[in-house]
Structure 1
Amino acid sequence: MTTAEEKMAIQQQFKERMDEEELLNCMRCGFCLPSCPTYIESGYQESHSPRGRIALMKAVVDGVIEPDEDVERSLDLCLGCRACEPVCPSGVQYGRLLEEARDIVQQHKKHSFPARVLRSAVFKGLFPHQNRIRALTGMLGLYQRSGMQTIIRKSGMLRILPEHLAKMESILPKVPNLKQLKKRPDRLPPVGEHKKRAAFFSGCLMDTLFLDTNMATIKLLQMAGCEVVIPGLQACCGALHGHSGEKNLAVQLAKRNIQAFEKSDADYIVTNAGGCGAFLNEYDHLLKDDPDWCERAKAFTEKLRDFSSILLELDFEQKPLELPDQTVTYQDSCHLRNVMKTSAEPRRLLQSIKGIEFKEMKNADSCCGSAGIYNIVEAKMSMKILDSKMEAAKSVQAETIVTANPGCLLQMQLGIERAGLSDRVRAVHLADLLLEASAE
Structure 2
Amino acid sequence: MTMTKEQADIQQAFTERMDEEELLNCMRCGFCLPACPTYIETGFQEKHSPRGRIALMKAVADGLIAPDDDVEASLDLCLGCRACEPVCPAGVNYGHLLEEARDIFKQHRKQSFPVKQVRKTVFEGLFPHQKRIRAATGLLGFYQRSGLQKAARKIGFMKLFPDHLAGMESVLPKVPTMKKMKQRPAYLPADHEKTAKAAFFSGCLMDTMFLETNDATLKLLQMAGCEIVIPTAQGCCGALHGHSGEKEKAKEMAKKNIEAFEQTNADYIITNAGGCGAFLIRYDHLLKDELDWAERAKNFTRRLKDITQILLELNFHQRIPLQLPTQILTYQDSCHLRNVMHTYTAPRTLLQAIEGATYQEMRDADRCCGSAGIYNIVEPSMSMQILDHKMANAIATEATTIVTANPGCLLQMKLGIEREGLSSKIRAVHIVDVLLEAASKGGKKDTLL
- Give the TM-score normalised by the residue count of structure 1: 0.99
Distance 1:256 1:343 in 2: 29
Residue 53 of structure 1 and its aligned partner are, at CA, apart by 0.1
SS in 2 for 1:323: strand
- Deviation string, structure 1 residues 194-237 (Cα, Å, up to 9, x no partner): 11110000000000000000000000000000011100000100
Distance 2:370 2:289 in 1: 33
Task: Quote the residue 2:410 is aligned against.
Answer: 409
Residue 381 of structure 1 and its aligned partner are, at CA, apart by 0.1
Q: Which amino acid aligns with 1:157?
A: F
Distance 1:376 1:114 in 2: 17
- Deviation string, structure 1 residues 62-86 (Cα, Å, up to 9, x no partner): 1100000000000000000000000
Q: Which amino acid aligns with 1:135?
A: A
SS in 2 for 1:327: strand
SS in 2 for 1:311: helix
Task: Quote the residue 2:21 is aligned against.
Answer: 21
Residue 6 of structure 1 and its aligned partner are, at CA, apart by 1.0
Q: Which amino acid aligns with 1:96?
A: H
Residue 184 of structure 1 and its aligned partner are, at CA, apart by 2.1
Task: Quote the residue 2:378 is aligned against.
Answer: 377
Distance 1:160 1:216 in 2: 36
SS in 2 for 1:174: coil
Identity rate, percent: 69
Task: Quote the residue 1:33 is aligned against.
Answer: 33
Distance 2:167 2:78 in 1: 24
Q: Which amino acid aligns with 2:313?
A: E
Distance 1:28 1:275 in 2: 28
- Deviation string, structure 1 residues 270-326 (Cα, Å, up to 9, x no partner): 000000000000000000000000000000000000011110111101110000000
Counting only pairs closer than 5 Å after superposition, residues 110-121 of structure 1 correspond to structure 2 as 110-121=110-121
Q: Which amino acid aligns with 1:247?
A: K
Distance 2:5 2:355 in 1: 63
Task: Quote the residue 1:239 is aligned against.
Answer: 239
Task: Quote the residue 1:334 is aligned against.
Answer: 335
SS in 1 for 2:82: coil
Task: Quote the residue 1:173 is aligned against.
Answer: 173
Residue 182 of structure 1 and its aligned partner are, at CA, apart by 1.0
Q: Which amino acid aligns with 2:339?
A: N
SS in 2 for 1:65: coil
Counting only pairs closer than 5 Å after superposition, residues 78-117 of structure 1 correspond to structure 2 as 78-117=78-117
Distance 2:164 2:379 in 1: 11
Task: Quote the residue 2:224 is aligned against.
Answer: 224
SS in 1 for 2:29: coil
Distance 1:361 1:300 in 2: 34
Q: Which amino acid aligns with 1:437?
A: A
Distance 2:245 2:363 in 1: 33
Q: Which amino acid aligns with 2:144?
A: Q
SS in 2 for 1:55: helix
* Structure 1, unpaired ranges of 5+: none
Task: Quote the residue 1:262 is aligned against.
Answer: 262
Task: Quote the residue 1:202 is aligned against.
Answer: 202
Task: Quote the residue 2:56 is aligned against.
Answer: 56
- Deviation string, structure 1 residues 137-164 (Cα, Å, up to 9, x no partner): 0000000000110000001010010011
Distance 2:331 2:45 in 1: 29
Distance 1:217 1:86 in 2: 28
1:212 aligns with 2:212: yes
Residue 434 of structure 1 and its aligned partner are, at CA, apart by 0.3
Task: Quote the residue 1:426 is aligned against.
Answer: 427
Distance 2:397 2:404 in 1: 16
- Give the TM-score normalised by the residue count of structure 2: 0.97
Residue 357 of structure 1 and its aligned partner are, at CA, apart by 0.7
Q: Which amino acid aligns with 2:145?
A: R
User: Which 4+ stretches in 1 moved above 4 angstroms?
Assistant: none
